[in-house]
Structure 1
Amino acid sequence: MITEKVDLDGRPFTLDRPDAPPQDGVVFVLNLHGAGSLGPWQREYFPVHDHVDEFGLVVATPTAQTKVPFRRWVSEADDAYLQAVVADVLARYPGQVRSFWLAGHSQGGMTSNRLLRSDWWADRVDGWLSLSGGRLGQAPLVEGFGPPLQPGQQPLPPEVRARMFSVAEGLPSAEFSFIYTAGEHEIVSLPDTSPWAERFGSGNRVRLDDVVDDQPGRIHDTRPGGPTRAWGGPPGPGTAEVYVYPGLQGDRVVADVLRKDKGHTEGLEPEVVRTLVTLMVGAPGGKLRPNG
């Protein structure tokens, strides 16, 4: 694996790429952090780069520029920067990207949802991995969801909280594979149906074998205020339930992965990461291929 810092007009991002790209092309993952976070934190929260050589992945992990009231993906400048990151990777692998995925944690997932409703992204993205970043066919958040209050900080007004955690309504018109994962304690429940799967011809989900991890993730939110069940505490081993919706048009992948006894910010466990990557690379691509 080759890891480098790529500078785009003074805005660097981390690029993890294989020593040699596979003959059948690479799977490109744009790995987006959540609000208040940074690219280096996201790289450890979802360490997809661990599988760069094994699966032929190219992973770009950038950092948002907007900082008020906290760092997040909201500005036109950030949107243009993300397009520049994509252009840089495509220039390195002309005609070799067989599949392009957006992966986003929390507000990074909400940003992925927003971007996919624009033509530029809809024409290029083959799949979206939502890492606790909203579901197409919502899994509602538990009451009071949010980061722990910092010393001297007042609770957010209900209307501000609602706006912070609101997601785009309805379904995008774009066509892509979709994988959703979340911690058990951050949502009320995981729906047993998927309107996104129904759109592509499947209504009945299938439960696969649970994923069992005896090793923890690498990172969690260490800000003062103490952990909460919904927001998450220190990482630890765990078990995840995996559901897929088979028989979709175009062999698209739609799946839900529920991490038991986890919250919003515990870094993903190694076998959960491997499971997500396996689902991603098994999905069809082709939007960035010549004549794709």
Structure 2
Amino acid sequence: MNRLAQYRAKGIAGLCGLLMALAGQLALAADDILGVACQTPPPVHCMDGDCAAKTAMPGNVTEPESGRQYFLDYPCDLQDGEDVIFILNIHGAGSIANWQRHYFPAMDHKEKYRLVVATPTAAGSTSMGSGDGVRVWAPQTDDAYLQAITNQVIDAFGRDNIKAFWLAGHSQGGMTSRRLVCTDFFADKVDGMLSLSGGRIGQAPFVANFGPPLPDGSPPPARPRGTAEEVLPSCDFSHIFAIGEYEIEQLPDNSPWAAKYQCEAREHTQIVDTQPGWVTDSGRSGYRVWGREARPGTADIYEYPSCDNGRVVADVVRLDKGHTEGLEPEVTQRIIELIASASGGKLQGSASAN
């Protein structure tokens, strides 16, 4: 069955679920949550070959304080009072929300794993050396916005119903997640952080010529190495790191975050995908470090088991991939399985929002 047929099948299943709800079950009405009519497949979803126009769409929910839009995806058969996992899905520099929804398509698994996924777009921009403004996450323009989205989602779904809250970020979005995770607002809320090519706790150094290719397709110039000693985060959370094989020099064979939680020696498994991810950076593809066309592949999964307090520490290396190929369906599902297996409860255990 191809990807399009799979999503049509899911759409039929979603319709059946809605009919059951109308027959008397306690499922929430489709437009009860922030005015979003729930859909499966999710709204503005890429299908076969139509991603280019759809990824520019801004969102389906408006955050009232800023007036900015973001995407909200949640299970269409959600029951009143049911526990969910909340993921704040943050794009990288120069990107946009609906591209990120398809780069890390957690929305494709929202019914099975009871996911609520909020995917916003940054407002800030900066010069990247060419004089052109590139959209990036910036404290002065975006931190309050991300906090407001978080509060809006918590209020809408109910603090006691959010059994785990994860920050997920690609590239500069991953760096932003790491900057935010132990701040006063997020430290008592976030149960886990997923870094998608955005920096590992216990650094996995990027290759010297990391970055988008030059206009003629050649690699960018080598960047100087940083010399500052890494400072580990000061708060507690699970951590998953996912990277393309060609982005880093090598994956370290140990993890200071796993050591912190006294995890056991890491275990290795592999995931094989026969279907491609949804997106790549089609305007700058070809340089393998940055990324080529989306395609099937294999991923190495390195998990540190039996961590203290039920936390999860894991690394995912996608073989023969670079920075921008969207995650394939099986490796996406495995990452979400790891997220779902981790301990949570920070929101359910706290009395009030910051």
Please, what TM-score do these two structures have when normalized by structure 2? 0.76
Q: Give the CA deviation at 1:84.
A: 0.5
What is the deviation of 1:51? 0.7
Note if 1:247 corresponds to 2:306. yes
Query: Residue 25 of structure 1 aligns to which amino acid in structure 2?
Result: D
Equivalent position to 2:257, from 174, 196, 201: 196
Distance in 2 of aligned mates of 1:201 and 1:280:
19
How far apart are 1:285 and its partner, in Å? 0.5
Matched AA of 1:281? A
Instruction: Please state how far the C-alpha of 1:122 moved relative to its aligned partner.
Output: 1.1
Match of 2:214? 149
Offset at residue 151 of structure 1 (A): 6.5
1:14 aligned residue = 71
Q: Is the 8 A contact 1:24 1:98 kept in 2?
A: no
Structure 2 vs 1, CA of residues 157 and 244 (structure 1 numbering), >3 Å: closer, same or farther?
Answer: closer
**Quick check: 1:134–1:167 contact (8 Å CA) kept in 2?**
no
Work out the percentage of aligned pairs sharing the same amino acid: 49
1:276 aligns with 2:276: no
State how far apart, in whole Å, the 2-side matches of 1:26 and 1:290 are.
15
Q: Secondary structure at the match of 1:215?
A: coil
Q: Aligned in 2, Cα 1:52/1:185: closer, same or farther, shift over 3 Å?
A: same
Structure 2 residue ranges without an equivalent (≥5) = 1-37, 44-58, 128-133
What is the SS of the residue equivalent to 1:129? strand
Distance 1:167-1:246 versus aligned 2 partners, 3 A rule: farther
2:184 pairs with 1:119: yes
Equivalences for 1:1-292 in 2 at 5 Å? Answer: 1-2=38-39, 3=43, 5-8=60-63, 9-21=66-78, 24-69=82-127, 70-94=134-158, 95-150=160-215, 158=223, 169-202=230-263, 204-208=265-269, 210-224=270-284, 226-291=285-350
In structure 2, the CA distance between the partners of 1:88 and 1:167, relative to structure 1 (3 Å rule), is: farther
Letter in 1 for 2:76: D
Deviation string 1:237-277 (CA, Å, 9 cap, x unpaired) is 10001111112110100001110010010000000100011
Task: Give me the whole-angstrom Cα distance separating, in 2, the residues matched to 1:147 and 1:168.
Answer: 26
**Cα separation, 1, equivalents of 2:67 and 2:250:** 43
2:294 partner letter: P
Note the C-alpha offset of 1:24.
4.8
Contact kept? 2:218, 2:287, Cα under 8 Å: no
Contact 1:113–1:168 (CA under 8 A) maintained in structure 2:
no
1:273 aligns to what SS in structure 2? helix
Offset of residue 68 of structure 1: 2.4
* Larger RCO, structure (CA 8 Å, separation 6 or more): 1
2:167·2:193 contact (CA, 8 Å) conserved in 1?
A: yes
Whole-angstrom CA distance in 2 between matches of 1:202 and 1:157 = 36
- Structure-1 separation of matches of 2:330 and 2:218: 37
* Structure-2 change in CA distance of 1:184 and 1:252 (3 Å): same
Query: Matched residue of 2:327: which SS?
Result: coil
Q: Please state how far the C-alpha of 1:146 moved relative to its aligned partner.
A: 0.4
Going from structure 1 to structure 2, the CA distance change for 1:42 and 1:168 (only over 3 Å counts) comes to farther
Query: 1:155 offset after TM fit, Å?
Result: 5.9
Over 3 Å counting, the alpha-carbon distance change for 1:167 and 1:268 in structure 2 is: farther
CA distance, structure 2, for counterparts of residue 7 and residue 30 of structure 1: 15
Pairwise CA distance, 1:20: 3.6
Distance of 1:156 and 1:180 partners within structure 2: 26
Task: Tell me how far apart the structure 1 counterparts of residues 62 and 334 of structure 2 sit (CA, whole Å).
Answer: 31
Give the letter for the 1:96 counterpart.
N
Secondary structure, aligned partner of 1:185: coil
Residue type of the alignment partner of 2:109? H
- Contact 1:73 / 1:107 at 8 angstroms: preserved in 2? yes
Q: SS at 2:177's partner residue?
A: helix
Gapped runs of 5+ residues in structure 1? none
Match of 2:50 in 1: none
Question: Residue 117 of structure 1: CA displacement?
Answer: 3.0
Equivalent residues, number: 286
1:234, distance to aligned residue in structure 2 (A): 0.3
